Amino acid sequence: MRKLSVVGVLSLALLTSCVSKKKYVALEDSLSQTQSRLTKTQVEKEELEAKFAKIEARVEEYNSKINSLKEMNDSQFTSVDDVAVMSNNTKAKMRKTLQNVDPAKLAGAKTLQDSMNLAVSYKLKQSISDDSEDVDVSIDKTVVMINISDELLFNTASYRVSSKAENILKKLAEVIKSEPSMEVMVEGHTDSRTINTPVIADNWDLSVKRATSIVRELQHKYGVDPKQLIAAGRSSYLPLVENDTKENMAKNRRTRIVILPNLDKFFALLDTESL
């Protein structure tokens, strides 16, 4: 019985020793794996830190460039309402042009955009025609509208272009060709008197024929790209004034040239060399 007890104790001790060794080996293996993962994580961390440092450097460089451009813009450019941005060079040209503008009109300019529109209007009018009575230029934001009396373009009740129109159409063509990105709509307008002839059905017909005649002249005689041109007739339904006197009817008989320049081309209309 005593021998059996001793054998049992020895067996138990041996078994306990084997289990502890297995646990030790397992723990050692686990530790090794943990250390390996820790080393890998450390390497990845260092790589990420290096990438982050490069990104920070690039962000700092970009911010520096942006601030530099902002400082340049603040000193060299002026925002014109929400329409465009004007350079100091353009502002100088505008001020020079405004010295020639009617003081009464200039007094009505309340904003920088008003002054800009006055300057471009004056410049265009001087470039196109010396006749202040028969040509009027107005601007809504950057849409340029040139009203030309039919006295300069057509004979009464006719859509054939008069020889008197040659000078103004030639100058108008030069303006249009100076900026190929411009789109130009030619609108014919009549007074309210009815018309019916073998070749003209009514005021709609007359207004469209007159617009088409001007477009053909600009294209074929003065070399304007037809892709820039649009012909439209408005009949008598968009008068400037009431058709109640001969003088008012004469004002309503007109051809309106609507110029749609890109924003970055609008200020070029202030440049003498471009006209």
pLDDT tens by residue, 117-170: 888 888 888 888 766 678 898 888 778 899 999 989 998 889 999 998 999 999
Q: For 58-101, give the DSSP string.
A: HHHHHHHHHHHHHHHHHHHEEEETTTEEEEHHHHHHHHHHHTTS
Q: What is the pLDDT of residue 75?
A: 45
Alpha-carbon distances of 146 from 37, 38, 256, rounded to whole Å: 78, 78, 5
Q: Are 213 and 159 in contact (CB under 8 A)?
A: yes
Whose tokens are 């059905």? That residue is: 201
Q: What is the pLDDT of residue 4?
A: 46
Q: What is the pLDDT of residue 187?
A: 97
Q: What is the pLDDT of residue 65?
A: 57
Q: What is the pLDDT of residue 80?
A: 54
Homologous superfamily assigned to 133-274: OmpA-like domain (3.30.1330.60)
Q: What is the pLDDT of residue 255?
A: 96
Domain layout of the chain by residue ranges: 37-77, 133-274
Low-confidence ranges of the chain (pLDDT < 50): 1-4, 6, 9, 12, 14, 72, 74-75, 77, 83, 272, 274-275
Please classify residue 265 by burial: count the beta carbons closer than 10 Å to its beta carbon, then call 0-12 exposed, 13-18 middle and 19+ buried.
Answer: middle
**H-assigned helices in 179-268:** 203-216, 246-252, 263-266
* Residue 47 burial (CB count, 10 A): 10
